């Protein structure tokens, strides 16, 4: 079965230009057909596996896992966990632990994500006010719809930042996230921002509420928003 470049791009959640770069620089096999490229499904699947890539949609998508079936921020937070009393100096180490347990990702992909986080400027710290920030990788990777994670870090002391937060409130709570695809990144960023700006979640986190209370608050907020389960692992 042959696929065209649009179908390949949609399957991996990337732009067509990325697929062209894979052909040019990464050896993605294709069959020339007049003025277009066709891709054998089996060859692409084998190439993707050798490069630690997982398709997230379309003809190459894997069967959804139980994590993906659960959907929503609550499921992602169960994967990334809640980390308490974290020294500011150990934040990067926690990020790496979260990546090491990234669900639905192969070891090469986990290693690639970890390398990118360690690079200068590899993590964007995005303060959202009230002592919270939403750190995330500076570059996005197509992980596949079974992947993605959210981790809540409650810090022992404020996190040093290159510039002070807009409201001058020291950042002590981090929602570190990795989206399953570039397309899902903005969606997940928006969901987390809304969860912090509405309802009781912000106060529960600031008070250091038990894990189950935090999970219930997130599930209730997502249900109230009309997206029970609210699967962010979309293409």
Q: Which range has highest mean pLDDT (106-110, 160-164, 230-234)?
A: 160-164
- Asked whether the beta carbons of 183 and 13 are under 8 A apart, the reply is yes
DSSP state, 180? Answer: S
- pLDDT tens track for 54-87: 665 555 655 443 333 345 898 999 999 999 999 9
Query: Looking at residue 147, what is its pLDDT?
Result: 85
Residues near 130 by beta carbon (within 8 Å), at least 6 away in sequence: 167, 169, 196, 202, 206
DSSP state, 182? Answer: H
Query: Looking at residue 65, what is its pLDDT?
Result: 39
Look up the pTM and report it.
0.68
- pLDDT tens track for 91-131: 999 999 999 999 988 888 888 899 999 999 999 998 988 99
Distance CA 192, CA 17 (A): 30
- pLDDT tens track for 30-62: 998 888 899 988 788 878 877 767 665 555 655
Q: Which domains does the chain possess?
A: 2-60 (1.10.1660), 66-224 (3.40.930.10)
The token pair that represents 50 in the structure block? 């050798």
Query: Looking at residue 24, what is its pLDDT?
Result: 92
Question: Which residues sit opposite 33 in a β-bridge?
Answer: 36
Strands 82-86 and 173-178: unpaired
- Asked whether the beta carbons of 77 and 218 are under 8 A apart, the reply is yes
């Amino acid at each position: 079965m042959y696929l065209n470049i649009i179908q390949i791009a949609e399957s991996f959640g990337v732009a067509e230009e990325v697929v062209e770069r894979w052909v040019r620089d990464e050896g993605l096999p294709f069959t020339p057909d007049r003025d277009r490229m066709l891709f054998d499904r089996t060859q692409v699947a084998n190439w993707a596996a050798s490069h630690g890539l997982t398709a997230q949609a379309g003809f190459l998508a894997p069967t959804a896992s139980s994590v993906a079936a659960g959907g929503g921020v609550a499921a992602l937070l169960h994967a990334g966990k809640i980390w308490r009393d974290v020294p500011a100096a150990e934040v990067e180490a926690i990020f790496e632990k979260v990546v090491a347990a990234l669900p639905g990702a192969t070891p090469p992909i986990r290693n690639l994500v970890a390398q990118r986080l360690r690079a200068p400027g590899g993590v964007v710290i995005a303060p959202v006010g009230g002592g919270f920030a939403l750190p995330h990788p500076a570059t996005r990777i197509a992980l596949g719809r079974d992947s993605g994670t959210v981790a809540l870090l409650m810090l022992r002391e404020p996190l040093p930042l290159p510039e002070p937060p807009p409201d001058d409130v020291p950042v002590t709570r981090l929602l570190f996230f990795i989206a399953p695809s570039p397309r899902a990144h903005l969606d997940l960023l928006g969901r987390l921002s809304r969860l912090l700006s509405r309802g009781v979640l912000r106060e529960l986190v600031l008070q250091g509420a038990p894990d189950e209370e935090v999970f219930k608050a997130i599930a209730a907020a997502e249900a109230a928003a009309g997206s029970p389960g609210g699967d962010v692992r979309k293409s």
